[in-house]
Amino acid sequence: MPEIPGIHHVTAFCDDPQENYDFFTNVLGMRFVKRTVRFDVPEKIYHLYYGDEEGTPGTIVTYFPMTNMPMEEGMVGKGMMRSVGLTIPEGSVDYWTNRFEEHDVEFMIDERFDETAIEFTDPDGLPFELVTGDSDIEPWTDGNDVPAEHGIRGMFNTTLHSNDPAGTMDVLETMGWDRIGEATHPQAGDRIRYEAPGDAPCATTVDVLIRPNAPQGRMGIGTYLHVAYRVANGWEQDEVSDTLRENGYITTSTKDRDYFNSRYITEPGGAIFEYATDGPGFDIDQDPAEYGEELKVPDWLEVDVDRIEEMLPPLETT
């Protein structure tokens, strides 16, 4: 099977797009890469992308703001993604804890796998972590006040709170990922760490969280929808899909997401896994210098873009 060298992106649900934008750009200092729409409900729901300067796979966090759609508050728990780690350099923990205090962001600090993790949530209560580690990603510094030496350098990992840890680990091993360690916490449960093959610049680890007595998760605002893994192109995506099917996992047909193509499975532990191509990329409809400045929609919606924009909630990005 072709190599799956890391995580491509993660997607979550939020409520207010302005609050979400302000947090990720003004507090975390990430770049606003793309403002588009959820293709199946384009008149009501944005699809917002944050990442590094180029929107490199492995740096991308995306949201569906559900302000215009009836959706209850979710609950993070078993059977879904638990959290996403964003990479910060060694020596940046004090900077970020001070910054969080200045912005009234509550946090906790944990030590595991020889890393420091600053645990916090976004404005809708979705768990994130800033994790000390190595990355070849350059931080985004244009238009925010986070110094380059402390800036976020893409994703570090995702944590999956599995209903079926053995099943989740079987999928990761079918994908060619290696089990490299375990960590035990008396309150937080056991973590089994997997690492991707190859030398991707970031986002190469997944933790499987084992907490049998924890409550079941409920999808809604403040929860993750899926984690996407990288495949180089459509041919490799087909090969990955064939291998998953040969091992008993049902994959969807290919979905055109304009900036990448996707296939999906629901893994045995309950999380949705996506397999997304590295291209075409975010520059197919916008110069990188202008990322995020205006609403972009796929060609088949271009004729309605003015009407769609009028129906979406307000979002000030300047």
DSSP of 61-94: EEEEE-TTS---B-B--BTEEEEEEEEE-TT-HH
Give the start-to-end residue ranges of the domains of the chain. 7-311
Segment holding 50, helix H or strand E? strand 46-51
- In the predicted model, is pLDDT for residue 187 greater than 80? no
Out of 135-139, 186-190, 268-272, least confident range: 186-190
* Sequence letter at residue 47: H
Write out the two tokens for 227: 């984690």
Per-residue pLDDT at 127: 98
When the pLDDT of each residue in the chain is averaged and rounded to a whole number, the result is 96
Percentage with pLDDT > 90 across the chain: 90
Per-residue pLDDT at 91: 96
Out of 40-49, 132-141, 164-173, least confident range: 40-49
pTM above 0.85, yes or no: yes
pLDDT tens for residues 40-95? 887 889 999 999 999 999 999 999 999 988 899 999 999 999 999 999 999 999 99
Across 115-123, average pLDDT: 98
Neighbours of 215 (CB within 10 A): 11
CATH number listed for the domain at residues 7-311: 3.10.180.10
- In the predicted model, is pLDDT for residue 218 greater than 80? yes
pLDDT band at 1 (very low <50, low <70, confident <90, very high): confident
Q: DSSP letters along 152-220, please?
A: --SEEEEEEE-SSHHHHHHHHHHTT-EEEEEEEETTTEEEEEEE-SS--SS--EEEEEE-TTSPBPB-S
Percentage with pLDDT > 70 across the chain: 99
Across 269-278, average pLDDT: 98
Closest CA to 262 of 249, 253, 250: 253
Cα-Cα-Cα-Cα dihedral sign, residues 88, 125, 268, 230? negative
